[in-house]
Amino acid sequence: MSPHFEPNGTVGEARLRVRYAETDQMGVVYHSNFIIWFEVGRVELLRTLGFTYREMEADGYHLPVVEVKCRYKQPARYDDAILIRTYMSGLRSSYIQFTYEVLREEDRSLLAEGSSTHVVVGPDMRPINLSDKYMGPFQRAMGTP
């Protein structure tokens, strides 16, 4: 199966293996773990762009989640190798949206897809605009000059 999306910009990839503790009594990954995996994908995408969340926070930028969506397609199970594909799907000076695709690596089955919306805030939790240090890489990641 080919990936569900192919954006024009940068796609971050993160890999993990499902731990037993992430599964429920039916042996299926508990639904909230996918939201945690979205964060793993987001963090790795930032690394791909050349910086970390920690660096952004040190520069006074925080990205609280204001909305998250997840559509489950197939179950993930203990010991599955998982691929999280992440890309930026929305960008303004104080707003970022990421889109995610969670695949089982073995057969490239789409397990879940979703998105998260973030507002850029300063240490006082008030909205602020991103500096060029971050807007440039984010714009390039979106496939725009």
Annotated catalytic residues are 24
Q: Which has the closest alpha carbon to 44: 14, 81, 80, 11? A: 14
Determine the Cα–Cα distance for residues 24 and 30; give it in Å rounded to an integer. 6
Amino acid at 11: V
Instruction: Say what angle helices 32-49 and 132-141 make with each other, to 10 degrees.
Output: 110
71 and 114 Cβ atoms separated by less than 8 Å:
yes
